[in-house]
Amino acid sequence: MDVSGQETDWRSTAFRQKLVSQIEDAMRKAGVAHSKSSKDMESHVFLKAKTRVRP
């Protein structure tokens, strides 16, 4: 994933949609059924995030 750009970019709709697409791709490649949609997964992580950087 591209980590360049300003810190505020990770909160943009476009960036979040890109993450949803990446989650969908990972789910498809894993070939495992998931109880949550990629949008639900991204939303959960976004709500818990304080910054873009992982600890």
For CA atoms 28, 55, 43, 7, the dihedral sign is negative
Give residue for tokens 């591209």: 2
- What number is the average pLDDT over the span 39-46? 91
Residue 39: pLDDT band (50, 70, 90) is very high
- What number is the average pLDDT over the span 14-33? 90
Residue 5: pLDDT band (50, 70, 90) is low
Q: What is the spatial distance between Cα 55 and Cα 53, in angstroms, rounded to a whole number?
A: 6
Q: What is the spatial distance between Cα 3 and Cα 44, in angstroms, rounded to a whole number?
A: 20
Residue 21 has pLDDT above 90, yes or no: yes
